[in-house]
Structure 1
Amino acid sequence: MVTAMPFLLALLCLLSPAASQESKNRVDSLRYYYAGKSEFSEVFPRLQGTGYINDRPFFYYDSTNHKAEPLKPWCEAEGMVNWEKETQFQKERENLFMETLGDILDYYNDNNGFHVLQEAFGCELQNNKSSGAFWKLTYDGRNYLTFNTTISAWVALDPAAQNTQEKWNEYANNAKKYLEEECPDTLRKYLSYNPSSLD
């Protein structure tokens, strides 16, 4: 046992630089994904949204229940989110999302058939500093609209998106502020509630 202790200490010393390097290059992320469809279905909600922290879902919302709900293990983190306030916010997002889908359907005269609008946005932190953000929409699997943080503007990637671009560019500064300030701050807050089951 006397010889085993120095060996374990030496092993610990060898492993510690690797561990510190791993934490040094740590990347955390907060992402949201929404999908809405043009047709009503009794099986699937017209709109579904999920939030992810480090690629693990932490909340879910849909247009059937109209309720933002925490998912395990994050539902164990009391005080992390005011879920009533989040539900109200998600209802407002649902209205904007479905209005946007309606505008696209009108532009293409696509009021018949099944069509899907998807939205994804979020941010990353590397070593606790903002290292990336994105916001994009796709329609029927085609790139539709994206936010360019460099020029602080929405960029149309599809003819119909020019209408949405004009509407949304009125709030381009809000989108930039969210992606570069609010999203990273929210992620830092959420990480401070890190449930033990994620360790």
Structure 2
Amino acid sequence: MVPVLLPLLLFLSPAVTQETQDGPYSLTFYSTAVSRSTEASPSFQATGYLNDQAFFHYDSESGKAEPLGPWKQVKGMEDWEEESKRQKARGDFILKNLEDIMSYYKDKGNHTTREKFSCVLRNNSYCGASWKIAYDGQDYIEFNTEIPAWIPLQPEALNTKVKWETEGSVLRARASMEDECPQKLRRYLQYSKIYLDRQDHPSVSITSQMAPGGTRTLKCLAYNFYPQPISLYWTRASNVVETESQGEDLSESDSYQSWVEVKIPSQDTDPYSCHVQHSSLAQPLIVPWHEGQEAGP
């Protein structure tokens, strides 16, 4: 079997047909291989994601693939002892590929490859996949299913393209992305939709802070919500206000938080309101603020 494909084929198992509605749902594997100097052994790690939620992790140091989060309580979705063996074999092959890439660059010492493999379903139908490998933080090679072919993203990657395609990888790579990965995702969804489809409504708080020069910053924070898409904006007397800054991140509890800030003159006494739109809300949430008031959840 072609070395680049075998790591993937090792972790794909027979499909179980399952009617999957709505979505989109994605299955993504991130893998990292690190070469070492003679004093330390090379290392390999892999993490699997269903949508944005990590459901398992493997580390070559422990040699174990272990479920994460709520999947620790799920029985029957995966045989984790067998998965540990498959990930061990994946790591061996990916580390060998790293050695090949280092030889093309004539590199020695510590170097890294990172691989992302992903497929997406919507309404039980395949609607896309990607497979890309990076070397030392730079995109190195990716697979294009339309051609189909491996596309070198660095001059040295032409060596990898020729090697893999000579060994017959193209058809198997396409099948892995378009057939086998979606089949595995359908099987996982039988056990996982309850976690992926959850709707946690946002809590909202408003804070204000005065700065030297008489400018006030109003910050609207939405937190503990899931899934990620959310709309936050400020209005002044019902007119939308231009945003000063905004951001979002994922908390340790696998929920999201997002915020939006505006700056206003300290003498401004008009009413301001933060508007929040999220799929968990039957209608938009409007949280008002006026001078002398702090609004909370």
Question: What's the TM-score once normalised by structure 1's chain length?
Answer: 0.80
Of 183-192 and 161-170, the range deviating more from structure 2: 161-170
From the two aligned structures, give the one with the greater strand fraction.
2
Residue aligning to 1:180:
178
- The one-letter amino acid of 1:179's match is M
Matches within 5 A, 1:1-199: 26-39=23-36, 46-112=43-109, 114-169=110-165, 170-194=168-192, 196=194, 198=196, 199=198
Structure with max Cα Rg = 2
- Note the residue ranges of structure 2 that are not aligned, 5 or more in a row: 1-19, 199-297
Partner Cα distance (1:39, 1:164) in 2: 21
Relative to structure 1, is the Cα distance of residues 105 and 44 closer, same or farther in structure 2, using a 3 angstrom cutoff?
closer
Partner Cα distance (1:158, 1:106) in 2: 14
Contact 2:35–2:41 (8 Å) recurs in 1: no
Partner Cα distance (1:130, 1:195) in 2: 17
Q: Name segments (4+ residues, structure 1) moved above 3 Å.
A: 40-45, 195-198
Matched residue pairs, number? 176
State the Cα distance separating 1:121 from its structure 2 match.
Answer: 0.6
Relative contact order: is structure 1 or structure 2 higher (C-alpha 8 Å, sep ≥ 6)?
A: 1
Contact 1:73–1:195 (8 Å) recurs in 2: no
Note the aligned Cα RMSD (angstroms). 2.5
- The one-letter amino acid of 1:90's match is Q
| 1:125-163 deviation line (CA, Å, top 9, x unaligned) | 112211110000011111101001012221111122122
- Note the residue ranges of structure 1 that are not aligned, 5 or more in a row: 1-22
From the two aligned structures, give the one with the greater helix fraction.
1
Partner Cα distance (1:176, 1:75) in 2: 32
Residue aligning to 2:289:
none
Question: What's the TM-score once normalised by structure 2's chain length?
Answer: 0.55
Percent identical pairs in the alignment equals 44
Residue aligning to 1:17:
none
Contact 2:36–2:42 (8 Å) recurs in 1: no
Partner Cα distance (1:83, 1:157) in 2: 35
Contact 1:29–1:122 (8 Å) recurs in 2: yes
Residue aligning to 2:263:
none
Contact 1:40–1:46 (8 Å) recurs in 2: no
State the Cα distance separating 1:168 from its structure 2 match.
Answer: 2.3
| 1:87-122 deviation line (CA, Å, top 9, x unaligned) | 22211211111011111111212113x322110011
Partner Cα distance (1:43, 1:192) in 2: 41
